[in-house]
Structure 1
Amino acid sequence: MTHDLISLTIIMAVAVICPVIAERIPGKPIPQTVLLLAFGAILGPHVLNRIWLTDATDLLSELGLAFLFLLAGYEIEPKQLGGHQGRVGLLTWAVTLAIAWLLVFLVPFFAHHDMNGAAAVITLTTTALGTLMPILKERSLEDTPVGDAIISYGTWGELGPVLAMAVLLSTRSGWQTMLVLGLFTAICIAAALAPHIARRAGGWLYRFFTANANTSSQTLMRLTVLLLIALITISRLFDLDAVLGAFAAGFILRIVMPKGVETLETKLEGVAYGFLIPVFFVVSGASIDVHAVAGNPLLLVVFIIMLILVRAVPVFVATTLDAKKNPLDLMDRLTVAAYCTTALPVIVAVTSVAVGAGTMQEDTASTLVAAGAVSVFLMPLIAGVTGRIRKRQAATPPTSAS
């Protein structure tokens, strides 16, 4: 217990310090997430050994990951999935998956570096939408054409890998996997319909939960946490990854409250970004074997290059081909492509599953997580540069011909 408390104290000290450091860097080029990961790696068991990875810290980290995907699922507008840009986003992700599959299974480099399975394919197709949302808010990109495009392509960049994990990393046969996913979907549908049925039926219980949403009972918040924990538990009982349950909980929450509830969102973000999500990122950093990463720098560099080729290039091409429906200029398209290549949480989840199943070595997993951390720094940095160029171009008046 003492070790747990010491580790948690250090983790929360890092969580307090990182936003201060990020704010003081001119231009704020480094997201807090990168600093949390870096401090975690330095203070973790592989370097200074001041943060111990105990069962308690692992549980809090899992809850942080769950809240990250809950908020990511909550950001998804169901109408966007079936809209034009949503369909283009799905097709683009399918192309990304096909390219990643060909590269991983046909290029000998990946087989030589313990990356010749479905887990490696999935890690190349992801967009960290949950990680991106705070950055988009900070940079005032919400409800802009660029922001809408990022969310449309990023939604499938997060949802697609989550579903692929359930199907491709399952140890069951094909029909058993589909049966389990069908049962899980049925449970999710029932959970989404229950509030609508309760609202129509009325009754004292519904009125009680509604009236006490903002009292000391915090009924709506408690129901949300119950939904999250229940779906995570069901995911584990069905031998599915907890990420799927967390993402489904957020999506259900959006369906139940399509216009959102500001007070609930404030509370969820307070618990998530104020406590659990920083714990997840610091612990993720602490789990990185820095010596293993330093011993295999080629894999780190090649993986980042592959992320750009597999994820950024198809998104850029898609936004270019879709110019009639969603016109974006060159800098905006580059910005969208760069943001959509930001990866990390799914990489953490996928590599954890692969290591646990014995299909990936821990050294390789550490390197891929480190590469995901680099992408969280590098891609928003590139996107920030292209965004500033776009603003300068827009501010410069066109020269008239003499």
Structure 2
Amino acid sequence: MSHPGTLILIMAIAVLAPLLAYAAARRLTVPVAIFEIGLGIVIGPDALGWAHPDELIDTLSTLGLSMLIFLSGYEIEFAAVRGDTLRRAVGAWVLTLALALGITFALTGAQATKSFVIGTALTSTALGAVLPMLRDSAVLHSRFGTVMMAFGAVGEFGPIIAMALLLSGRAPGAATALLAAFAAVTAGALYWAMRPRPPWFARIVATTLHTSGQFAVRLVMLLLAVMLGLSVAFGLDTLLGAFAAGLLTRLILHGAAPESSAEVLGKIEAMGFGFLVPVFFIVTGINFDLHALLGGGRSLLLLPVFLLLFLLLRGAPAWLLAPRDLSRRERTSLTLYCATCLPLVVAITTIGVDDGVLGQGEAAALVGAAMLSILAFPLMALKALAPHQHQARPSDSVAQTSESW
């Protein structure tokens, strides 16, 4: 490791960020990720210049993003996220994609590849960042939380699929074939995950849960590694594999060891939110090209434009197609949460810059707008939803909610 002090600084920020969020909560609820990104910028090369990421730091950051997407996939409740709500979520995302590609084609002068990069970035929702906020505000398992989970899941999964089809550099037919092959393998894995496990499975999960064996945790890590490896083997983005691994893990644990699943998830979240995910957000701040954003007038002007496009292109379709039983305040909150983005924007702009399609200034404006979205929109969403937080409609009965949809 060429710069051992960088990891120490990153872990120090990981400890400091929740303390700052706790102190700020007396007046304003600020997501921990905001402090992580902000402090990352401060210690980065464009500010104090203390942090110098190397291969190890970049690898940990990539694992952090994968873990964030994995935990998003794990939170998806198949029994609840279906029916009319899912159809509306898919419709809202497809409308967003069509609008985003149309507008970016017009703005870029019909530069197809650049339009695909920017347009795909504009369709994402940071479900992995939003779900912890919903959980902390005690609305995750309400009717609104279930709807947000559906819209957010499509906003997370849809751009990953679009990345595989539009940004892989392959011919559309070849990209579609590879994606279909990966989907077939994943479908087979999902079928296997839903099959009954032998009685010993639940016993060994419970027996090793508090020992050095940690069978369930090791199995989850194996599933994640296998799905990441499969996505690489198929030439797809690893985020697709991470999301699929989360879905698989939930089915296996809830089906075979339901009494231990919550505790196993707690251990995985401890690894994710306690170590890997903060590294991703802090490194995002460190790598943020502040000079490119502030050095040219065009890049700085693009930042509010992109922020507005996130709200209009991703948020407005969510408002229009939100389930009819949501109140006006809940629809407003849904709009703002859906327009909250960052992780996939970072991944997509990185692809664009590496391929020479996107300039550093444009990428910095997109990522900067995404940072502002994760700072401003959830705070506004929480405020809009606040009167309903103590009257949240539970969605414990899947059958009942499914009928109402």
TM-score, structure 2 normalization: 0.88
Counterparts in 2 of 1:115-134, with a 5 A limit?
116-134=114-132
> 2: CA distance between counterparts of 1:128 and 1:196?
28
Q: 1:247-289: per-residue Cα shift (whole Å, max 9, x none)?
A: 1100111222346501110101000000000000000111111
Of the three residues 165, 186, 189, the one matched with 2:184 is 186
Contact 1:114 1:361 in 2 (8 A): no
2:89 counterpart of 1:86: no
Q: Alpha-carbon deviations, 1:101-138, whole Å to 9, x = none?
A: 111112x3x45999842111111111111100111111
CA contact (8 A) 1:37 1:284 kept: yes
The answer as to 2:317 corresponding to 1:318 is no
Within the candidate set 238, 247, 267, 1:242 is matched to: 238
- Supply the RMSD in Å over aligned alpha carbons: 2.5
**How big is each residue's C-alpha offset from its partner over 1:11-55, in whole Å with a ceiling of 9 and x where there is no partner?**
010011111111111333321111111111111122212111200
Task: Report the counterpart of residue 168 of structure 1 in structure 2.
Answer: 166
Give the match's secondary structure for 2:366. Answer: helix
Cα pair 2:125 2:340 within 8 Å, conserved: yes
- 1:211–1:9 distance in 2 versus 1, CA, 3 Å: same
Say if 2:194 and 2:251, in contact at 8 Å, map to a contact too.
Answer: no
Q: Distance in 2 between matches of 1:181 and 1:393?
A: 42
- Structure 2: tracts of 5 or more residues without a match: 393-405
Q: Matched residue of 1:117: which SS?
A: helix
The amino acid across from 1:299 in the alignment is: L
Q: 1:208 to 1:194 in 2, by over 3 A?
A: farther
Q: 1:211, CA displacement in angstroms?
A: 4.2
1:254 aligns with 2:257: no
**1:363: Cα distance to partner?**
2.6
User: Could you tell me how far apart the structure 1 residues matched to 2:391 and 2:227 are?
Assistant: 48
CA–CA distance in 2 between the matches of 1:55 and 1:199? Answer: 40
Q: Is 1:222–2:222 an aligned residue pair?
A: no
SS in structure 2 opposite 1:310? helix
Q: Structure 1 pair 111/304, CA: closer, same or farther in 2 (3 Å)? A: farther
CA contact (8 A) 1:115 1:360 kept: no
> Which position in structure 1 is the counterpart of 2:59?
59
Q: Secondary structure at the match of 2:222?
A: helix
Match for residue 307 of structure 2?
304
Judged with a 3 Å threshold, the aligned counterparts in structure 2 of structure 1 residues 14 and 113 are, in CA distance, closer, same or farther, namely farther
1:284 aligns with 2:280: no
What corresponds to 2:37 in structure 1? 37
CA distance in 1, matches of 2:180, 2:68: 24
Question: Structure 1 pair 45/80, CA: closer, same or farther in 2 (3 Å)?
Answer: same
Query: Match of 1:341?
Result: 339
What is the count of residue pairs matched by the alignment?
384
Structure 1: segments with no counterpart, 5+ residues: 395-402
Mapping of 1:72-151 within 5 angstroms? 72-106=72-106, 108=107, 110-111=108-109, 116-151=114-149
How far residue 191 of structure 1 moved from its aligned partner, in angstroms, is 3.2
Q: Which amino acid aligns with 1:38?
A: G
1:198 deviation in Å? 7.7
Please give the TM-score of this superposition, normalised by the length of structure 1: 0.89
Deviates more, 1:15-24 or 1:110-119: 110-119
Query: 1:231 Cα shift?
Result: 1.5
CA contact (8 A) 1:235 1:242 kept: yes
Q: Alignment identity in percent?
A: 34
Give the letter for the 2:287 counterpart.
Answer: S
Shift in alpha-carbon separation, 1:384–1:76, aligned structure 2, 3 A? same
Query: 1:40-98 CA distances to partner (integer Å, 9 max, x unpaired)?
Result: 11111222121112000000001100100000001112234432101111111111111
Contact 1:114/1:360 (CA < 8 Å) preserved in 2? Answer: no
CA distance in 2, matches of 1:175, 1:304: 33
Change over 3 Å in CA distance of 1:97–1:205 after alignment to 2: closer
